[in-house]
Amino acid sequence: MTSSILVTGGAGFIGSHTCVALMEAGYTPLLLDNLCNSDARVVDRLARITGQGPRLVTGDVRDAALLERLFADEAIAGVIHFAGLKAVGDSVAQPLTYYDNNVFGTVTLLQAMKAAGVKTFIFSSSATVYGDPERSPIPETAAYAPANPYGQSKRMVEEILVDLQRAEPDWRVAILRYFNPVGAHESGLIGEHPQGKPNNLMPFVCQVAVGLRDKLAVHGNDYPTPDGTGVRDYVHVWDVAQAHVRAVERFDDVIGRVGQPSVIMNVGRGEGVSVRELVTAFQGVFGKEVPVREAPPRPGDAVGAYANVDRIADLVGWRAEHTIEEAIASALAWTEKRQEILGYE
């Protein structure tokens, strides 16, 4: 039986792109997703891109019995763990839901992996663990300071992984801290597919551009930034997917380099872009103005910053290759294609 890589949350935005990248690199992904913020039909579109659709198991990482069966029935070599809730505002309003899904779900998954003897784990973490650092670029050594339950849930999982690897040194763990993944696959067949109102800037402005929403709300205009709006490090989702492939390919090399079987790496472009700058760039690519309204800051939002990406470049040879304009163009193409493929029920 050919071994596979279990990709939890594999039908989602970053997960689906990573599945394509894995297949193109010769790996066999096995998707596990509860479809709470994704769509099972993505498998058909993945097949159109790669020529062969990956298997999708519909289920939740909190379902211990399901995980036990999955690890018993499948030859799984390692896990890339994307499954998790990710909306900052929702996490402020529903902290228990976020801790249950993101923390308890990960612990349940790790317990199933341990029982099956599968101890290679790549975790989808977030730059929200840094909160609002005093300066940028942010290195991986910056202190934890999450400003919301979402970021806190990521911090908790990171600390659990460090404790686990310390207690059981045969675990191999990579923690990838994403900044702001945006864009879509060049085919226009997969991209960010939020259920209902988008929580992230790029899908929202795309929906305004194609007439699905009236105006883009810019939340906060008096942050301590050059133009008063929040700053983010926007990185193309395809570059993020490639970072996972590099991590899988270079795991043994990285362990040798860092002298321990776990590593934390930032995944970003290493550049800060404000909300206003992104809107200006978007309008340049789109060729038209996008209606904008001022809105109050959202609870839990950080001023934002950008990444120091020297470590991931040094350890696995990865740097983001796509520009913000390329990310915008691909996101627009996906938004238009999505209307044809899925509609907007």
Question: What's the rounded Cα separation, in Å, for the pair 25 and 266?
Answer: 22
Q: Which of 27, 98, 150, 178 is catalytic?
A: 150
Please state, in angstroms and rounded to a whole number, the distance separating the CA atoms of residues 285 and 210: 13
Q: How far apart are the first and last CA of the chain?
A: 40
- Amino acid letter for position 313: A
Instruction: Name the β-bridge partners of 105.
Output: none
Nearest residue to 155 via CA among 181, 127, 135: 127
Distance CA(112)–CA(107), nearest Å, equals 9
The b-or-e profile of 304-321 (16+ CB within 10 A means b, else e) is bbbbbbebbeebbebebe
Q: Find all residues with CB under 8 Å of 108, minimum gap 6, and list them.
A: 61, 62, 63, 64, 67
The rounded distance, in Å, linking the Cα atoms of 10 and 29 is 9
- DSSP states of 294-321 as a string? EEPPPTT------B--HHHHHHH-----
Q: At what angle do helices 105-116 and 64-73 cross, to 10 degrees?
A: 30
What is the distance between the alpha carbons of residues 126 and 300, in angstroms, rounded to a whole number?
Answer: 14
Distance CA 71, CA 115 (A): 9
**223: annotated active-site residue:** no
Residue 228 tokens, joined: 């008063």
| Closest C-alpha to 184, from 342, 333, 42 | 333
| Residues assigned a catalytic role | 150
